[in-house]
Structure 1
């Protein structure tokens, strides 16, 4: 069940902000909690029994708002914060750079000519990655998310997983299901004017069919000039991702192809990744399955193969239970396994 990220607006208009009556406004408080218990053995790691955080979706809370300026134009903003449900700390497990509002923090305008925002914004590649796999944005059970953002053997997409700092974003109005998007992130450091990150996307969604093509290029990960500290000798990383999904009612199919090209001073490396997945309704719940395979070429030839199965059972429109199994294999590394069950609820 794709979780909803909000509920109806809690407060409307001038009573909250003291605005003039013609400028209607709304503010919305929302969030998600997800906890699971399971067994985890990472690649080349030791096994443990854990009370985990965000088996299907990393917990977060947020506040978004809109102010109608008239003429079809509105001011929009969004502030979202990750937190660890097992101990109450802020941020995601394993992401030391998460700040208070590290999931989203932006303000902008939306109207007849599209939407433009500025701030901390998740990159277009991230949205394509999670949309075209049945496990959505799970850092625990989604094979394609693990391959892309928790890479091993030098594989992976850099540039920070889930958000770009100092960014500007534009999305065109939808035309018969077709939308164009573009994004740029500044290095914000003197002497590094060419140290940038940018991305473009064309997506189409009509009926049960959806597809997306994304291109992304980065010249820094978190701070200008730091790519070489992420992977020695790395100067530029380029990524193209093609995703598709088709809902036939009795089954929804997912597929992705991704090519990563790392420009390294000692020799370029290419990484090809394919992902296939499905979602099958069974009773009121769904069976989810996905398999991702990555192989590197260039200085070294290594592979990774990860597959996962899950059953998701809704208790209500807001709450679901899930049980999942993941198997992870990679070159010259011992097998990884994750088994767990949990509960997820939105507000």
Structure 2
């Protein structure tokens, strides 16, 4: 009799643990997602030679990711995110032209989210990158977006340093939405002995109401990838500061985009300022959108060079998650023969 009671207690305990585990699992979630993008076309880089190519990431750099959340109670959740770029043309990790991309080079962080905001730590996306991509019609395309090319693929000493889109060894705070306003602050540690003054930091204030959105970002970096490397990126460079203001307004028949950006390069050989302006539009036509953008950068101070890049394209939706696109880009800069890119591709999300 006592043995039967003991077995019954064991069965009830196992059932209780199972129910508890299921309840805990129900409060957690993990999502797998990504974007795959392939294109074919022709390209001539500034000062380079023409080539016909098949590439990965014409409109969006192909990537895959997984993210999860766990409800800790009291309005607090634990979160994580892991995202890695994929070159679908050769099956390797990373983006074309970025040999330093690792397994999870798009995002890798863990954090806490609650009523007072979100705190994350890891390999993070800085606010400047988000402002640059959301306030231009070609979003984050390194192939067809004039603003992205002029900001992160600079020539003649122009452009933003501090990695293209991600900061390592970073912490970030994102405020809760306060009406139409929200804010972000990010800090990246140098993580090397003897380089206590080497860091990156950034802050952003955003506004979003109806079809109108605006963002103001300030960023300062004292190293690009590793402490002490700014001078190798641009001889004599010690610190770079960037201000970016972006706006967009959706009128239904057209969505307009605009950005103004100023870069201060503090250089031992002579300081340089770079002013960049970008205007763009997205016009709904049929099941797609006509996209257009023009960006112009002019340096002043110790350097006086310019760059003008424009692009025109059409993005056609086959479904809610799959589209085809075609676009052409023209690129001109001081002391460089002109460049161009023309092509089309297929993009699908999962």
Residue by residue, what CA displacement relative to the aligned partner does 1:34-76 show, whole Å, maximum 9, x if unpaired? 0000010111101011001100000000010000001111001
Offset, 1:18: 4.6
Q: Does 1:81 align with 2:74?
A: no
Q: 1:140 aligns to what SS in structure 2?
A: coil
Which residue is 1:268 aligned to?
271
- In the alignment, the residues of structure 1 paired with residue 221 and residue 244 of structure 2 have an alpha-carbon distance, to the nearest angstrom, of 14
Contact kept in structure 2, 1:23 and 1:68, CA below 8 Å: no
Q: Which of 233, 237, 253 is the aligned partner of 1:234?
A: 237
Offset, 1:20: 5.4
Q: Which of 130, 133, 141 is the aligned partner of 1:130?
A: 133
* Structure 1 unmatched runs, 5+: 1-13
Offset, 1:242: 0.2
Q: 2:111 aligns to what SS in structure 1?
A: strand
Which residue is 1:316 aligned to?
319
- In the alignment, the residues of structure 1 paired with residue 240 and residue 89 of structure 2 have an alpha-carbon distance, to the nearest angstrom, of 35
Offset, 1:97: 1.1
Q: Does 1:218 align with 2:221?
A: yes
Larger radius of gyration: 2
Offset, 1:23: 6.8
- In the alignment, the residues of structure 2 paired with residue 107 and residue 99 of structure 1 have an alpha-carbon distance, to the nearest angstrom, of 18
Which residue is 2:117 aligned to?
114
Q: Which of 286, 290, 311 is the aligned partner of 2:289?
A: 286
Which residue is 2:10 aligned to?
none
Which residue is 1:251 aligned to?
254
Contact kept in structure 2, 1:23 and 1:70, CA below 8 Å: no
Q: Does 1:342 align with 2:324?
A: no
Which residue is 1:11 aligned to?
none
Offset, 1:21: 3.2
Which residue is 1:100 aligned to?
103
Q: 1:156 aligns to what SS in structure 2?
A: coil
Which residue is 1:3 aligned to?
none
Offset, 1:321: 0.3
Residue by residue, what CA displacement relative to the aligned partner does 1:159-212 show, whole Å, maximum 9, x if unpaired? 000100000000111111100110000000111111000000000001000000
| Larger helix share, 1 or 2 | 2
Q: For the aligned residues, what is the CA RMSD?
A: 1.3
* Structure 2 unmatched runs, 5+: 1-16
Q: 2:87 aligns to what SS in structure 1?
A: coil
Could you list the structure 1 runs, at least 4 aligned residues long, displaced by more than 4 angstroms after superposition.
17-20
Q: Does 1:330 align with 2:330?
A: no
